[in-house]
Structure 1
Amino acid sequence: MKHNNPEFAEIAERGTILRCQVGSGLHGTAVEGQDDRDEMGLCLEPAEYVVGTRRFEQYIFRTQPEGVRSGPGDLDLIVYSLRKWMRLALTGNPTVVLPLFAPDAEIVRITDLGHELRANAHRIVSRQAGPRFAGYLRSQRRRMVEGNIKVNRPELIEKYGFDTKYAMHMVRLGVQGVELLETGRMTLPLPEPWLTWLCDLRQGRHTQAEAVEAAAELEAKLETLTTRTSPLPEAPDREWADAWLVRAHVAAWKMA
């Protein structure tokens, strides 16, 4: 089933408890007039999609049709079912955890449940995020070194000799993973001095070799934090997550 059908759009609209900006706009690395807008939402499913035979995992909306690259001013929105989002967040998925830490100014919509979820980020984040961040970082670094990047930004390669946006996001991932493993939080937008360094990288003021070296150093830090020094718990509080999901859904169904 397509993820952008009207039925799913209605579920996402009625059930959203948290929706915020993600992507370069949230990280602080966007270039004015060059970036689209990425948003992520979390929604409660109707009862028939949880205990019935129907299925809903996410709703996707894009200003541009499928297969067409988004441009300045376009919107790319994904709204996850709260259950799917929680499953991914408990594993430390780097993108999925962003709504837990987005500043108020980047929040498009939030309910009491959304506030409650954000207040319990410490129950969701654990050392299990380390291998997820490190794995993505390692894969992106290898693709950059091998020239096997699966994106289409020929204008950047022509101008700078390599995909500077890809390189920027690669290093950004490592920076945020290290902060998360050290503190249990993410500073958004990115803090200095990394924010300026990353924006300079995107503008071609650092070389590809510098980006690869920075990524390798951050990957090593992630490994040390995951195995030895991170103050985070070894695993998330799955019992709390299950109980909270049940309570949230039952309360929503009673009100329906």
Structure 2
Amino acid sequence: MTHTEHGDAATARAGEILRTEVGSGLHGIAIAGTDDHDEMGVFVEPPECAIGLRAPMDHYVWRTQPEGHHSGHGDTDLVMYSLRKFLKLAVAGNPTILLPLFAPEDSVYAVTDLGAELRALAPAFLSRRTVERFVGYLDGQTDRLLGLGRQGGLPNRPELVERYGYDVKYASHALRLGLQGLEIAEHGRLTLPMPDADRERVLNVKSGGVAELDDVLADVKARILARLESGMPLPDEADTDRISAWSVDAHRRHWKF
């Protein structure tokens, strides 16, 4: 097979309500000629999957590259989640899952009325738990960069390590994650693309402009933890009652029940 595909494309496409860019281009940190293109979509499962006896279908994946091959410049990676799966991950504060909710209009490739309603719910997903989840992901990525703990999620880029002393691309993503978690903690919002100052800081790391790995994430986590300690303009948890009520109504309307 010349590409990678998992799941039922027809089911995912038929139920699609939202699809946006989610990669480096969305964050404003793509470097010309180096980055692939990432998209994420949301679809409503047919009723036989959600409430009937047919097996649930919670995601669909399509990648330009075959299984086991890294994506590179010019490649496209698409992942689509069922609405139920997407909402569960978003309520839990998964950083990547939140991106379609905050993507600017020019990064939205497909949206129905239900998709627009979902995006309008974006503030209901942000909470203290979201910030804590960002910190957890940041810790995991930092440990991998330092060679600590589980290394399974660290991409194999020996050419970057040889040239710069560490994987500058992975480090830039860790920094981006930390800065976005800090923005949510301080302002209760997620700006996409990243604010100019944050974007330039990330691009400086990604292009090899920071010689020492220890300097990449300096102060970011400490500032997030300080905000968690002192308080922030967010509730402790996502507004699950509001999100759940909308989900029930959205499924009914999509199915025309």
* TM-score, with length taken from structure 2: 0.92
Does structure 2 retain, via aligned residues, the 8 Å contact 1:130–1:223?
A: no
What is the correspondence of 1:149-164 to structure 2 with a 5 Å cutoff?
Answer: 150-164=154-168
**Residue type matched to 1:47 in 2?**
P
- The corresponding residue for 1:237 is 239
Matched residue SS, 2:128: coil
- Deviation, structure 1 residue 186: 1.2
Equivalenced residue count is 250
In 2, Cα distance between the equivalents of 1:58 and 1:67? 19
Counterpart CA distance in 2 for 1:13 and 1:100 is: 19
2:14, 2:124 → 1: CA distance?
27
Structure 2 equivalent of residue 187 of structure 1: 191
Which of 204, 214, 219 is the matching residue for 1:200?
204
Q: Distance in 2 between matches of 1:27 and 1:118?
A: 17
Q: Which has the higher helix share?
A: 1
Give 1:99 deviation, angstroms: 0.8
Q: Would you say 1:30 and 2:26 are equivalent positions?
A: no
Alignment of 1:89-168 (within 5 A): 89-146=90-147, 148=151, 150-168=154-172
Measure how far apart 1:216 and its partner are.
4.8
In the alignment, the residues of structure 1 paired with residue 228 and residue 206 of structure 2 have an alpha-carbon distance, to the nearest angstrom, of 29
1:49 corresponding residue in structure 2: 49
SS at match of 1:85: helix
SS of corresponding position for 1:150: coil
Write the letter of the residue equivalent to 1:134: V
CA deviation string 1:187-242 (max 9, x = no partner): 11111212112111111111233xx3452521122222234321101111111111
Given that residues 93 and 133 in structure 1 are in contact (C-alpha distance below 8 angstroms), is that contact kept between their aligned partners in structure 2? Answer: yes
SS in 2 for 1:76: strand
Which whole-Å CA distance do the structure 1 matches of 2:124 and 2:115 have between them?
15
Q: Is the 8 A contact 2:145 2:154 kept in 1?
A: no
> Which sections of structure 1, spanning at least 5 residues, go unmatched?
none
Once the 2 structures are TM-superposed, how far is the Cα of residue 113 of structure 1 from its aligned partner? Answer: 1.2
CA distance in 2, matches of 1:68, 1:8: 22
Distance 1:197 1:144, change over 3 A: same
Equivalent residues of 2:160, 2:166 under 8 A apart = yes
Runs of 4+, deviation exceeding 4 Å:
none
Distance of 2:12 and 2:186 partners within structure 1:
34
Deviation (angstroms), 1:184: 2.3
Identity %: 45
Q: How much does 1:145 deviate?
A: 2.0
Question: 2: distance between equivalents of 1:250 and 1:231?
Answer: 33
Return the alpha-carbon distance in structure 1 between the equivalents of residues 42 and 212 of structure 2: 36
Whole-angstrom distance in 2 between the partners of 1:208 and 1:117? 41
Q: Distance in 2 between matches of 1:11 and 1:231?
A: 39
Q: Specify the alignment match of 2:63 in structure 1.
A: 62
Q: Does structure 2 retain, via aligned residues, the 8 Å contact 1:167–1:208?
A: no
- 224-233 or 141-150: bigger deviation: 141-150
**What CA distance in whole angstroms lies between the structure 1 residues aligned with 2:51 and 2:91?**
22
Q: Deviations over 1:39-92 (max 9, x none)?
A: 000111100010112211100000111101111111100000011110010111
Query: RMSD over aligned Cα, in angstroms?
Result: 1.7
Question: How far apart in 2 are the matches of 1:100 and 1:26?
Answer: 12
Structure 2 portions without partners, runs of 5+: none
Match of 1:31, SS? coil
Say which SS state the counterpart of residue 89 (structure 1) adopts. helix
User: What TM-score do the two structures reach when normalised by structure 1?
Assistant: 0.92
